[in-house]
Structures are given as C-alpha cells and as structure tokens.
Structure 1
C-alpha cells in the first residue's frame, strides 16, 4: 500500500521549524454495526514505517498486530458478527517501487489468519465496508474509469463506488460520478438500503481564506444506483462519514473553517440538524514557531451502542510535544479525552462487536 498516495485527500502538508512534518488528511470512514461495544481495529505504522492493521480493546489494552511484512495494510472494517476484518493492501502489487498503484481488498479472521483476496485490480480498490448482513462489501475503485480531467480531484482520480460479495463474486458498480468528481468512502446504512459516500469536486474556492482546491460533501445512494442525495453542503469539505448504529445520524469530519481537518460534526441522515461535536483550530501560525498551533480531529466512528464517538486527533502541546492518537467523546460532545497517551499514532479506527479480551 503506497501510503503517500493512499490518503484520500490531503488537506495540508506543513513543514515547521520545530522539525515536525505534519500531514493532516481527510480520510475515509468505517461503518459501525449496532450491538455491544467490542474490540476496535486500527492502523499503526510498524518499526519499519509500514502501515499495519491492529486490534485492541477500546482502551488500547490487549493489543494484537494482525498484518506483517513489507506490504502496507490499512482501513480495517469489522464484519457484523465480529469474526472477520476487511482491509485493503498493496500486497498483490507486483512492483511497489514504481508509480503504478495496485491495491486490493482482502478479508481475514479477527486473529489475522485465513487472509482471502476479494478484489482483483490492475489499479486501485480499497476502503472496504461490510453490509449489515455481511453478504456484501462496498469499496471504491478506479477500475474502468480512466481520468481525463487535467486537474483531477486530489482524491484518487476516477474513483467510484462498487459492491462485491466477500468471495469475490457479484461485482457491481453503484455510482458513476460526473466529470470533475470522484466518489469514495462508501458505507452501508444500518438497514442495508443505502450507501453513504463522499464526493469530491475540483476548482472551487474553500472557506479557508479563499484557498483554491477540492470541495467535498457527503451523499447517499440506493444500492441500485438511483436516488442520489446530497446530505451536507459543499462548503463543509467533509471526509470520513459514519452512520450511527440506529441510522438516524451521520458523523463526519470537516475542514470547513480551518486549514486541515479540524472538527467532527453530526447531521441527520436527511441533512437537517447539523451539530458540532468537537472543534479544533486546525493548523495556524505556519512559519512562526512561537505562534504555531495544531489541533485537528479526523476519522470519527460511532461505538456499536451509539453512545460514543472514537476519532483520531493531532495536537501540538505548548512544549512542542506532538501528540497523535485516538480520542473518545460522548455523542453529545462531553467527556472528550485521549484513549491512551496520545503518542501511539493510531489511525483509521473501526469499532466492532468482537468480544473484549
């Protein structure tokens, strides 16, 4: 997995005089299936700088590494029954040193064994999510959609939403984005009737001081590809959407008002009732070490019981310590706290129902 190109949308890349190189991204969501709060899955880089999939209890105890080796793996998604994890990886790429990105969707048992390849791509397939009954996996892919846009969205160009059975059969395309658009991050609604996804479009003015770049919004669509509906306004520049377990709300990260992914919001599935859960100030004071501030939230997911949100956070302390890891917050925005010490650099969490250890 080519991590430098694997991120869905780079919101900022900041080099500062303190020696920190910060990449803040809008990243894909993980679907949360209703039930008892079980183990979480997440990405962390190993000692060789390779992205690997881990699981742990929600407090990061009883941690277990599931993937190993030179191939990168990430974006884990629990099956509804907690027995398997879907993920994507470049392990089938014949040459990970070239500029051709070959990435596929795989599944494995919750202990990391019995790895099975689901997609067979000559290009990119990734960001998987199980349907509520476990019979389908949704993912985004560039198959058959060559980009002709001279300035494609900074999400991988040509991406659209697809579904496939876990055994690799029944491949079906769901969305066909218009020119200058790309569709990513599909997630099933809890009743299995719709898919949530993020659509990017190019060449529009952002709210961040008039900067030019991509805009994004959350959409939903029926499984037959009809009934496409926009849920959030383009100006909120969304990433990482996740349905609440009861299907009434969607949590998402937004870079609407700050440079870099800054806040987590919720909205009703019909687009009403927009509410901020947590707000960070993003990245400010670039070029001035004394004034530099970093505080952004990303990758929000619901707990299976719907009471909490788990998310990533990047935060620069006053003493120059850069903290990066998972935080938990109640759904109403109260009791925000680091899951551990904020130094583990965990990313892309998904919260399943597999029994705690």
Structure 2
C-alpha cells in the first residue's frame, strides 16, 4: 500500500504504506514468501499485485486498474472508466483505494462496489483500515499542501497540523542551508500510520548543471519531529516504506545518461539500505513485497511488470511487454 503523488516543482512522483512487520531473513524460491509479524505472529504472504495499465482508447491514452498474481496468471481488470490509477490495497487486502482525476475512490478487491470518497490525491491507508490519508495540493509554489484523514465509513475528515518549510518561489540559488524549499511531493505514509515521509525540492545549479534537487523529510502526523534525512540529489523519488518501517525505497536516475536508473533503499539515518537493483529504464514507482524480500517495478524500456529480489538477482517478468501498452504504479497485496 503506497503512493505516488506530485506537485509542480517536484521530482517525478512515486506512492505507500505496507504491513507493519519484522522482516525475516531472505528465502529462496518463488515470489510468494512469508514473514511473521512480531506483534501478532500472523503470517504475511505476498498476494496479488495491483497496477495501472495505460493504452490507446478512442484516440487518447486511457488508464485502468488491473490485478495479477505474482506468477503472471489471473490478470484481471478492476475498473472500466479509462481514467483510474494509483491503486492501494487496504491492510486486510479486502479493499482497494484508488484515484480518478481530482478524487479518491474505493472498491472491493474484486472491483465491485465502487464509490467516491473525497477530493484530492491518495497517500495511503491507516493500519486499522478504516481511514485513508489524502493530500490536497495548493495552486501556488511554496504553499503547504493539506493532509486529511478521511473515514471510509462515516466520511468525516480530520485535517492534520503539518507545516513544511516551504516559501513562495521559485527560489534561486545560491542557498545557505536546507531551511527553504518551494516544492513538495511524493508523500508516503509509514506502515504504523505515525509518520509521513515527503520530498521537498528546489532548483539548484551549483553542481555544474541545473536541476531540481530534493531531500526527504519525515514528520509525525501531529506535525512534530520534522526531520531532514541526509541526502540531497536530483532525479530521484521515494516510493515506499519497508514493511518493518525502517527503510525507504527510492528510484534514481543519472540525469545526463539515457536509462541509467536504479532502485535502492536507505535507512532513516541516511545509510544505505538492503535494496540494490541496477535496472535500466526502471520507472519511478517501485513497491516492496509484503514479506519484505522482493521488489515489484515497471520497466520503462519494455513497459513490462517485473519482480526482483532485493539484491537485484532473480529478475523475472510478471507481465511481458505488449506494444502500445504501458504499465506502472504497482502495489502488492498483503495476505494472511
């Protein structure tokens, strides 16, 4: 359960949450691994993968949500509106929240009982499964987005007191420190529902070439403990928390090299994490498997959906390339 949302001055968007679990060691075999949570000792199994498929419809690109088993079988269409995207499984795996332009929707895991929830873009599910976190982006640079917890049962909303270090822009270098930014995007909700990770960005040309550079900040949902993580770079975006909540998954690309991209993770102290996948033309929206052992991503070169181990080995196609069809925004269903 993750997210991929963006504002105008951000790096490319990529979206998140997952089950809060203590990840067991790597296991060989198929992509259907298991891990026991430290709290309940329940077994978490990798279920179906939801993804967005885009293809020409009446002369323009239409997008709908599909789900498929990790072995590539049982590919099923869940929406037919030609404008649905960014699916996120509920913690129980019984429901899916998703987006249509300007709004957040809900449906059952089989695509039935679709209904609109609220305006905005989807960030993630709270761990109880009764509320979703939604963001409403402002119209101007340097303005704070509004984060709201929306009850899927009653429709009530609670706006969160999150205040980011954004200033009216666009900003221009040189910069004295990391206290001012004019863009925000890629918010990702932690598995325990207590923290938000978000990227803040600004234009910077102090490195010999001008790009939007970004850093990741974490903040509690009550607005306290705003912390900048020690990384400042261009052409990268976070997309998911690890299931145990101690790492952030991210995509990166060399801005001056064609398809020189990778999927990696880092710990909250900024040190390198356990994911290291060197993959040409990977799209910026990878997701962690619920058992924490694998990564699912879409290839920008072949537009196939692929699964790989955290160390980059045992890469396999879930859905192969199909001419004129594009896939992205994968999210892996937790099963118990």
- TM-score bracket for the superposition, by shorter chain length: 0.7 to 0.9
Paired residue for 1:291? none
Please give the root-mean-square deviation of Cα atoms over the aligned residues, in Å: 2.8
Q: Distance in 2 between matches of 1:112 and 1:246?
A: 29
Shift of 1:46: 4.3
Shift of 1:256: 5.2
Q: CA 1:194–1:7 in structure 2 vs 1: closer, same or farther (change >3 Å)?
A: closer
Shift of 1:272: 2.1
Paired residue for 1:16? none
Q: CA 1:10–1:255 in structure 2 vs 1: closer, same or farther (change >3 Å)?
A: farther
Shift of 1:89: 0.4
Does residue 140 of structure 1 match 2:166? no
Paired residue for 2:330? 349
Paired residue for 1:108? 107
Are the equivalent residues in 1 in contact too, given 2:188–2:196 (CA < 8 A)?
A: yes
Does residue 31 of structure 1 match 2:37? no
Q: CA 1:241–1:47 in structure 2 vs 1: closer, same or farther (change >3 Å)?
A: closer
Paired residue for 1:202? 202
Please show how residues 1-357 of structure 1 align to structure 2 within 5 Å: 26-33=12-19, 35-48=44-57, 49-70=61-82, 72-90=83-101, 103-120=102-119, 125-142=120-137, 145-147=138-140, 149=141, 159-167=145-153, 168-177=155-164, 178-179=166-167, 180=169, 181-199=182-200, 201-205=201-205, 210-255=208-253, 258-259=256-257, 262-274=261-273, 277-280=276-279, 295-315=281-301, 323-343=302-322, 345-354=326-335
Could you list the per-position Cα deviations for residues 150-198 of structure 1 after superposition, in whole angstroms to 9, with x for gaps in the alignment? xx7xxxx864543322243123135333124333333322222212222
Q: Which has the higher contact order (CA 8 A, sep 6+)?
A: 2
Shift of 1:348: 0.3
**TM-score under structure 1 normalisation?**
0.72
Could you list the per-position Cα deviations for residues 58-98 of structure 1 after superposition, in whole angstroms to 9, with x for gaps in the alignment? 2332111111135x1111100000011111102xxxxxxxx
Q: CA 1:146–1:9 in structure 2 vs 1: closer, same or farther (change >3 Å)?
A: closer
Q: Secondary structure at the match of 1:338?
A: strand
Q: Distance in 1 between matches of 2:286 and 2:274?
A: 14
Q: CA 1:140–1:254 in structure 2 vs 1: closer, same or farther (change >3 Å)?
A: farther
Shift of 1:298: 2.5
Q: CA 1:163–1:63 in structure 2 vs 1: closer, same or farther (change >3 Å)?
A: same
Which 4+ residue blocks in structure 1 deviate beyond 6 angstroms? none
Are the equivalent residues in 2 in contact too, given 1:206–1:213 (CA < 8 A)?
A: no
Paired residue for 1:17? none
Could you list the per-position Cα deviations for residues 322-353 of structure 1 after superposition, in whole angstroms to 9, with x for gaps in the alignment? x1122211112222333232335220000012
Could you list the per-position Cα deviations for residues 240-269 of structure 1 after superposition, in whole angstroms to 9, with x for gaps in the alignment? 321111112111112355556821111112
Are the equivalent residues in 1 in contact too, given 2:277–2:311 (CA < 8 A)?
A: no
Q: CA 1:176–1:255 in structure 2 vs 1: closer, same or farther (change >3 Å)?
A: farther
Q: CA 1:238–1:173 in structure 2 vs 1: closer, same or farther (change >3 Å)?
A: farther
